[in-house]
Structure 1
Amino acid sequence: MPRRTDTHPDLRHPDVAAPFFSVWRLGTPERQRQAVDAFAAAWERRPWPARELISHHVYVGQDGSTLMHHAQWATEVGYEGFFKTRRQETVDEIDTAVSGIERLTLDRYHRPHSHERAVGDTRVPGLIVTVRIDFEPGAAARRPGWADSVRKALAEDPEGHRGLISAHFHLSHDGTHVLNYAEWESDAAYDAVLVGTAEPTESWRRVRTYPGVRGFTSARYRHALGLEPD
């Protein structure tokens, strides 16, 4: 059976080869909370859905409207088996409890390129920021280089990003984008960096003007629910 955890997921878990991210739109903070509760109830009344699922985490968007789901799968085959045999019954139960959920995205990614937390850093993230970096058609091969350029810029500016705990750059299977999942100490720490990047260093200018990048979209979340096999 599933058990709840308040611990944030390990984005570099060695058994996770197929991370999935999806976004739901609920429209109001009240419906956000209802959807989290409905998701937990639907999952906790059933056996853990597949041995290939390492964990499933849900995050509440600070926009007061959205939820983000992060499922850590060992294999895509495991997810496909769950999708065919187990997913619909939980979806139906959740939709009965909270009608009108808009399921906006479900994206599959490779294991991330990571700027990992420093050795001995035990901070608990107070804020999760996701940034989707869209690339022009035909520019999929440029994505690993872009991620490397960000990691280089972070390494050259540790003091300026001291509120950043870790950052994980996920390359989408469809080649269209990178999703940066960043763990921050707090909203204030992230806001301070946004002010500081008004006058970027040369390394950050290269990140912003990297060939093939079409645009950036960011969102802020707080961890609401973690489920793992008991």
Structure 2
Amino acid sequence: MSRRTELHPDPTDPRVGAPLFSTWRVGTPERQRQAVEAIGRAWEGRPWPAGDLLAYHVYAGQDGSTLMHYSQWTGEQAYETFVRTHRQERVDEIDTAVPGIERVGLGRYRRYRSRERAVGDARVPGLIVTVRIDFEDGTRERREEWVDLVVKGLGDDPAGHAGLLSAHFHLSTDGGHVLNYAEWESTGAYEAAMATPSTDSWERVRTYPGLRKVTGSRYEHALGLVPD
């Protein structure tokens, strides 16, 4: 069966071969809450669908209208099997409880590298920030170089990012963008870091050739599900 967990996922788990992220638009904070409750009922009332699904987490957007889904699979084939055999019954139950959900799309990734949390740091993330970085066509190879620059910038500016617990950089399998899944101590800590004066390292990140668009979103962890 499925059970709830208060623990946040570990993006560095070596078993994760296919981290998947998707977004739903639900419209209001009340519908956010209703949708999270419906997801919990739909999953807890059924057996865990596959041993290849390690965890499934849902986050409520601070915009009051979106939900982000993060599932950790051992491989994409296992996810495709789930879609064929177990997904629709869950979708139907959720849509009956909360009609009109807009499913924006699914992103498929592989994790490239992380700025992991310090040894002994037991702080619980109060804010999750995802940043999508789109690159111009034909610049697929620049994504890893850009991530390397960001990780170096974080290392060069530890005081300015004291509230950052970890950052995990994922490359989209279609070659077009990077997704950074970052754990912050709190919203205040994130805003303080964003207000810190820019350094030479960060200017190189912001002006990197081939960079097309950067889009950030803020979330709070709303539901974690793991096999019982």
Matched, 1:222 2:220: yes
1:65-214 alignment, distance < 5 Å: 65-196=65-196, 199-214=197-212
CA apart distance, 1:111: 2.2
Q: Residue 168 and residue 90 in structure 1: after superposition, are their counterparts in 2 closer, same or farther (change >3 A)?
A: same
1:26-41 alignment, distance < 5 Å: 26-41=26-41
Matched, 1:14 2:14: yes
Instruction: Give CA deviations for 1:187-210 in whole Å, capped at 9, x if unaligned.
Output: 1100001111xx311100000011
Q: Which moved more, 1:28-37 or 1:106-115?
A: 106-115
Instruction: Give CA deviations for 1:61-101 in whole Å, capped at 9, x if unaligned.
Output: 00000000000001111101001111111111111110000
Structure 1 spans left out of the alignment, 5+ residues: none
In 2: Cα distance, 1:162 partner to 1:90 partner: 40
In 1: Cα distance, 2:209 partner to 2:91 partner: 40
3-state SS, counterpart of residue 200 of structure 1: coil
3-state SS, counterpart of residue 47 of structure 1: coil
- Identical counterparts, % of pairs: 66
In 2: Cα distance, 1:145 partner to 1:117 partner: 22
Q: What is the CA RMSD across the aligned residues, in angstroms?
A: 0.7
Query: TM-score, structure 2 length as denominator?
Result: 0.99
In 1: Cα distance, 2:125 partner to 2:98 partner: 29
Quick one: which amino acid aligns to residue 124 of structure 1? Answer: V
Q: Is the 8 A contact 1:12 1:112 kept in 2?
A: no
3-state SS, counterpart of residue 141 of structure 2: helix
In 1: Cα distance, 2:110 partner to 2:180 partner: 12
3-state SS, counterpart of residue 11 of structure 2: coil
Quick one: which amino acid aligns to residue 174 of structure 1? Answer: D
